[in-house]
Chains A and B, each alone.
Chain A
Amino acid sequence: MKAHCPREALLSACQLASVAVPSRDVKPVLRNLKAIAKADGCTLLATDLELGVRLEVRSIKVDEPGEALLPAGRLVAILRETTDEELTLETTNETSVIRGAANEFEMPGEDPAEFPDIPTFADDKHHEISAGALREMIRRTAFAAAKESTRYSMTGVLWEFEDKVARLIATDGRRLAVASGPATDNGGGDTKGQTHVVPTKSMALLERVLQDDDQVVRVCLKPNEALFKTDRATIYTRLVEGRYPNYKEVFPKKTTVKVPLTVGPFLSAVRQAAIMTDEESKRVIFEFAKKKLTLKARGAESGRSKVELPLDYDGKDVTINFDAHYVSDMLRVLPADAALTLELVDGSTPALFKHGTDYSYVVMPLT
């Protein structure tokens, strides 16, 4: 194949596709990106057999169609280090050559047929969500998934579709985030009774390809895999096995206390109070009283902090302890001027943060 590539555009596409290139040594062939050049553009493929991505790069001018394998790491390095506006890529079965005005890079070629195939989005039965809404939903949930756990189903994000509503759920056993948004059902059907848990790495890649807010993302959930398609990209991912905890049970049933909050000032107060927490205890004491919230923290060696925040609250006094991270993680993904409601029963039952009707976040208090 032979093509003229604008460097910047190709670099950002390659960096994106590199997310799917395995970091550990599995099969050497997977350390490559596969480029398929056709008359109207070029597609980049990358996979670690768990997650795969097809990315269209439109601004490439193709002189001669063809396929090639290019080592991902070196290719990104070349694109990053050179300064040319445009680079020429020419490949044969033996070599791949990248040329700029004053430079030339030659790499040994590999057989493109050895690269595993990545499924294409062919299924007509799917759901549609707007890219902007989906990205926001991912941002608001993915952080809450378990980083490392032997309960593998919690290391991913659960997807649900029900009555034209898409719902993403993530939990690590101590906090739970649920975000929902409108979806169009194109034959995908409700997911009731099925479990579709997408690994967090795949979610991160999906979040990165959702650039244009008005775009529509097509989502196809199959029993063992999921496919996502935007204008430019198709992402294929395997699903995580195992039972997902029944998250609906986690929500406190009858809350007696409702505290209105604003994200910005609340986050600032929590972070101030958290300065005096230490490694051993991340505990921050939240004392809700009439018109006032007092946050206190004390560390064995670090000292103590006390922060006050005026509140529009007239209910009874409640004291509850949280790990400051669990609260600030959630506050950080919301806009600073957003209104938030904290619903409580008492200091020892789960607390529910609500933002509008489509975002809920449950945190277990520290005892």
Chain B
Amino acid sequence: MSWQRVRGHDNLVRSFAQAKRRGRLAHAYLFAGPTGVGKRLFAHELAKALLCEDPPETLRACEQCPGCIQVEAGSHPDFFATGRPEESPHIPIDSVRELCRVLSLKPVRGHGKVAIIDDADELQDPITGNAAANAFLKTLEEPSPGSVLLLIGTSPDRQMQTIVSRCQVVRFAPLSDAIVAELIRAQGVNDAALVERLVRLGAGSPGQAMALAEPALWEFRRTLLAALSQPRFDSVGLAKQWMEFAEEAGKESVAQRRRVSLVLRLLIDFLISALRTLAGETTRLREAEELRSMSDLGSRLGTDGLTDWLDRCLEADLQNERRVQLVLVVEALTHALGRQRVA
């Protein structure tokens, strides 16, 4: 059934249907919202509904016509999807040019054309500049009649002004904890405590929550926290361990960076909780051992120490995102955490 897989965005589905009914669909949309809340799935469902050749009602795909089946199989001649290749940190300009070129062809099945540009945040790139985004502007401003372009990003702030001004921004809200928990369980995570933790960490994003579900990640978190709880820890050794863990993710630096970023997320979450515990928050249920290590760390570092650590972690996350060499990011972080303890 159409739209069934899209959870928690019923209001958006309704407003798109209404726009369609009134013939007021825009030619380009920028989907903005946290990673992992279902924007891509929404875009695919929307594409299918737009290209459906026999819709039972407005903007609802029949799932039976050749149009629907071909979108689902990825072979629809008027449906294009592009995004950041797995191994690349940004969208190559050639992908954008190719997309613009195929969009310039007349539709084959006669129900308009739909293009999805995934990872649209990566249209800009700190190293190659904005060439890919610029190559896209002309097509984005005036796509051929009947075309709908769907850009998927996290925030309009991550886009060039010239891109944002050509799109209608559609904001995706985080999902409710109940839906996130349900989706996590559907993925086969049954440990109630883990589910609860993931829901909290996901902050309304099943995708992000599931990224943290990997057991190895929690294993490493234990190692990391154990090291950090020592008054004097071996920062060089810890950095080495951390890098080894990152390299297990694969040879591509993109995968390694993702893993380091996930570890940082867990560490930041731990520090925030420790800060809250120090401030006297008691409402959140947590395992006793966890609580103890939090209060130990809190009492030793104090509020100032904890916030210093948090600052360092956030800085490392930013450096990681800006593609500073990974070894340097990790070593600088562990070194800084180790030094502050002495002071």
A241–B100 touching, CB < 8 Å:
no
Which residues in A have their C-beta under 8 angstroms from that of B110? Answer: 224
Contacts of A153 in B (CB 8 A): 104
- Among B74, B77, B98, B144, point to the contact of A241 (Cβ < 8 A): B144
**Taking the nearest CB of chain B, how far is it from the CB of A235, in angstroms?**
15
- Assuming the contacts A27-B75, A241-B144, asked whether A223 and B106 have C-beta atoms less than 8 A apart, the reply is yes
**Cβ–Cβ contact B106 & A225, under 8 A:** yes
Are B108 and A224 in contact, with the CB atoms below 8 A?
A: yes
Among residues of B, the one whose C-beta sits closest to the C-beta of A152 is B104
Residue contact A150 to B105, C-beta cutoff 8 Å:
no
Does B138 sit within 8 A of A, measured CB to CB? yes
Residues of B within 8 A of A152 (CB): 100-101, 104
Given contacts A150-B138, A152-B101, A242-B144, contact A224 B75 (CB under 8 A): no
Q: Is B107 an interface residue (CB 8 A)?
A: yes
Give how many A residues have a beta carbon under 8 Å from the other chain's beta carbons: 18
* A residues in contact with B19, CB < 8 Å: none
0/1 interface trace, chain A 191-224, chain B, CB 8 Å (1 if under)? 0000000010000000000000000000000011
- When C-beta atoms are compared, the residue in chain A nearest to B139 turns out to be A150
Q: Smallest distance from the beta carbon of A211 to chain B beta carbons, Å?
A: 28
* Cβ contacts under 8 Å, B105 to chain A: 50, 199, 238-241
Q: Are B100 and A224 neighbours in the complex by a CB distance under 8 Å?
A: no
Q: Which of B79-132 contact A (CB under 8 A)?
A: 98, 100-102, 104-108, 110
Given known A-B contacts A27-B75, A116-B75, A150-B138, A238 and B101 have beta carbons under 8 A apart = no
**Residues of chain A from 290 to 327 with CB closer than 8 A to chain B in the complex:** none
- A50 vs B108: C-alpha distance in the bound complex, in angstroms? 9
Chain A contacts for B100, CB-based, 8 A: 150, 152
B131 to chain A, nearest CB (A): 14
- For A224, the chain B residues whose CB sits under 8 A away are 106-108, 110
Please give me the residue from chain B that is nearest to A196 by CB atom: B106
A24's nearest neighbour on chain B, judged by CB, is B98
The reply on A36 being an interface residue by CB < 8 A is no
Contacts of B75 in A (CB 8 A): 27, 116
Distance in Å: Cβ of B111 to nearest Cβ of chain A: 11
Give a binary string over A171-206; 1 marks a CB under 8 Å from any B CB, 0 the rest. Answer: 000000000000000000000000000010000000
Question: Binding site of B, secondary structure by majority: helix, strand, loop or mixed?
Answer: loop
Give the docked Cα–Cα distance between A225 and B77 (Å).
12
Is the beta-carbon distance between A242 and B108 smaller than 8 angstroms?
no
Give chain A residues whose Cβ lies under 8 Å from the Cβ of B107: 224
Mark A339-355 against chain B: 1 for CB-CB distance below 8 A, else 0. Answer: 00000000000000000
CB distance from B180 to the nearest CB of A (A): 34
Task: Return the chain A residue nearest B143 by Cβ.
Answer: A241
Docked Cα-Cα span, A224 to B111, in Å, equals 12
**Distance A239 CA – B108 CA, assembled complex (angstroms):** 9
List of A residues within 8 angstroms of B102 by Cβ: 50
Contact with B along A140-178 (1 / 0, CB 8 A): 000000000010110100000000000000000000000
B104 touches A242 (CB 8 A): yes
- Provide the residues of chain A in CB contact with B98, threshold 8 Å: 24
Look across to chain B and name the residue whose beta carbon is closest to the beta carbon of A237.
B105
Pick from B77, B101, B106: contact of A239, CB below 8 A.
B106
CB distance from A4 to the nearest CB of B (A): 34
Chain B residues with CB under 8 A of A334: none
CB distance from B82 to the nearest CB of A (A): 11
Q: Name the contact of A238 in the complex, choosing from B106, B139, B144 (C-beta under 8 A).
A: B106
Q: How far is the CA of A239 from the CA of B77 in the complex (A)?
A: 13
Kindly provide the distance from the CB of B79 to the nearest chain A CB, expressed in whole angstroms.
11
A24 to B97, CA, bound (A): 13
Give the docked Cα–Cα distance between A24 and B101 (Å).
Answer: 14
Q: Smallest CB–CB gap between A307 and chain B, Å?
A: 40
- Using known A-B contacts A24-B98, A116-B75, determine if residue A241 contacts B104 with beta carbons closer than 8 Å: yes
Q: Is the CB of A238 within 8 A of B138?
A: no
B101 to chain A: which residues have CB within 8 Å? 152, 155
Contact of A76 with B by CB under 8 A: no
Q: How far is the CA of A265 from the CA of B98 in the complex (A)?
A: 42
* Complex: A49 Cα to B80 Cα, angstroms: 12
In the bound assembly, the distance between CA atoms of A116 and B69 in angstroms comes to 13
Chain B contacts for A24, CB-based, 8 A: 98
A8 to chain B, nearest CB (A): 35
Nearest chain A residue, comparing its CB with the CB of B77: A49
Which residues of chain A have C-beta atoms less than 8 A from B106's C-beta? 223-225, 238-241
| 23 pairs, A vs B, C-beta closer than 8 Å | A27-B74, A49-B77, A50-B102, A116-B75, A150-B139, A152-B100, A152-B104, A153-B104, A155-B104, A223-B106, A224-B106, A224-B108, A224-B110, A238-B106, A238-B108, A239-B105, A239-B106, A240-B104, A240-B106, A241-B105, A241-B106, A241-B144, A242-B104
| Pairs of residues from A and B, 6 with the lowest C-beta to C-beta distance, nearest first | A152-B104, A224-B106, A241-B144, A238-B105, A150-B138, A239-B106
Please give 12 more A-B residue pairs, beta carbons under 8 A apart, in addition to A240-B104, A242-B104. A24-B98, A49-B77, A152-B101, A152-B104, A155-B101, A223-B106, A224-B108, A225-B106, A225-B108, A238-B77, A241-B106, A242-B144
Residues of A in contact with B (beta carbons under 8 Å apart): 24, 27, 49-50, 116, 150, 152-153, 155, 199, 223-225, 238-242
B residues engaging A (CB < 8 A)?
74-75, 77, 98, 100-102, 104-108, 110, 138-139, 144
